[in-house]
Amino acid sequence: MHTVVVGTNGVTASDVLAVARGGARVELSGEALAALAASREIVEALAAKPEPVYGVSTGFGALATRHISPELRAQLQRNIVRSHAAGMGPRVEREVVRALMFLRLKTVCSGRTGVRPSVAQAMADVLNAGITPVVHEFGSLGCSGDLAPLSHCALTLMGEGDAEGPDGVVRPAGELLAAHGIEPVELREKEGLALLNGTDGMLGMLIMALADLDTLYRSADVTAALSLEALLGTDRVLAPELHAIRPHPGQSASAANMLAVLKGSELTGHHQDDAPRVQDAYSVRCAPQVAGAGRDTMAHARLVADRELAAAVDNPVVLPDGRVESNGNFHGAPVAYVLDFLAIAAADLASITERRTDRLLDKNRSHGLPPFLADDAGVDSGLMIAQYTQAALVSEMKRLAVPASADSIPSSAMQEDHVSMGWSAARKLRTAVDNLTRVVAIELYAATRAVELRAGLTPAPATRAVVAAARAAGVAGPGPDRFLAPDLAAADAFVRGGHLLAAVEPVTGPLA
């Protein structure tokens, strides 16, 4: 099994995906263990002093003014975890919880949190055992970190609360730890707070969304090219010299992808035939501009994610010179903004995709295709309601594009009076990405059927490869009306599983 080694300098997005989705094992480097031990010595020295130090010998948040006596500090650390594990609602997906735990371990291993090496090792052991704490949908405001979600994870380390075992069965966390030979953690000064105070949940969801969107944007270029082909459009608008004079890198990449898919097609360039038109509609002609802008948005989001992956997000932190200082690095604004930005871009990509599908189905705009791509229009309804489903998904995505990060709500007796709502931005982005997959799948379903209905003209080799692979995967072609939901589900699986790209790239080469 693949192993990810966590050191003091952060981790990569590939590391996060390997642990969250691939079940990779986690090991702590010798450098990390040494840094953990060194910062712990500093915390313990401060804990022994009579002067109060926030997070070490005081309460938290609005209760930080109370100095906590040594005999109550272990109780304080337990209590913050128990009280903050206050999530409600549906369970969060296993991959999100694993990303959350791994990214918190990443910060702990930076040597900036004052956590003992044994606590970090227990975090790695829980991940390696396949134990997944039960984390709930609601409880994070994205400031002071993803407090409730991280608290549910810390509760598992203490042997309390519920968790899911590697067999998928939810059991008491103490039983699961015992079954895997893991001793529950007895938290000491600073450790409870250090396990809760990070933007790890929203960052993990950002990294996974970027991975999914990378596949979806390339897939959308393919389906856009298929729609252009089925509509007898022109590929001249994809010429590299046209995109070079407006030098957005995402736009050029998208146009190049479409051009590669369309190479060798006999269907393109017929816009001056029976029903002459000067230009194709915006949804066809401007596909690279819209998808390209989304790609550039993703590039900015990756920059933010990479910075966060290299960061130590905690409060207070142990600095290299030995000082322990409070800060506001737990505020999720940098991550929240790009999560919202990606939801906007995804909604717009879905919108232009749906417009192309609708054009394929409208006999007044499809340039000779049968109404709704039906076998016997009137007797058959064809793909009429498939487009309704697509439109419903797009409408939902537009609602999900409303930014969460603009909706701060104060908490903690006005101590935490401005929060990022980054966790909420991440949760709605996951739904948006899921919906975008379905939207692209429906365009694939319509465009492949439309291409097959263009008798007498040979599609591009890449198109033929897509059609053949889709049909082999159970995505049915033209014919009389049938139970449509299974066909759409097969198209969804074809896109979601990366099979669309696997079909086209042997012909086109890797798409950008």
Q: Would you name the residues annotated as active-site residues?
A: 54
Are the beta carbons of 203 and 103 closer than 8 angstroms? yes
Please state, in angstroms and rounded to a whole number, the distance separating the CA atoms of residues 305 and 313.
13
Residue with tokens 């737990």: 330
Strand partners, 295: none
Residues 295/298/299/304 CA torsion (nearest 10 deg): 170
Are 380 and 296 within 8 A, CB to CB? no
Structure tokens, 330: 């737990």
Q: Report the alpha-carbon distance of residue 193 to residue 397 in Å, rounded.
A: 36
Contacts 24+ apart (CB under 8 A), 273-278: 273/232, 274/367, 274/368, 275/367, 275/368
Task: Check residue 63 and report its DSSP letter.
Answer: G
Residue 429: alpha-carbon gap to chain centroid: 7
**H or E element that contains 325:** strand 324-325
Separation between Cα atoms, residue 478 and residue 446, nearest integer Å: 9
CB atoms near residue 54 (< 10 Å): 17
Q: What's the CA gap between 19 and 22, in Å, rounded?
A: 5
Say if residues 185 and 156 touch (Cβ distance below 8 Å): no
Contact 440, 219 (CB under 8 A): yes
Check if the beta carbon of residue 459 is closer than 8 Å to that of residue 233: no
In this structure, the number of other CB atoms found within 10 A of the CB of residue 359 comes to: 23
Q: How far apart are the first and last CA of the chain?
A: 29
d(CA 154, CA 152): 5
What are the start-end ranges of the E strands in 73-140?
Answer: 88-91, 132-133, 136-138
Helix, strand, coil percentages for the chain (3-state, nearest 5): 55, 5, 35
User: Contact, 433 vs 346, CB < 8 A?
Assistant: yes
Amino acid at 357: T
d(CA 13, CA 374) in angstroms, rounded, equals 45
Contact criterion met (CB below 8 Å) for 35 and 59 = no
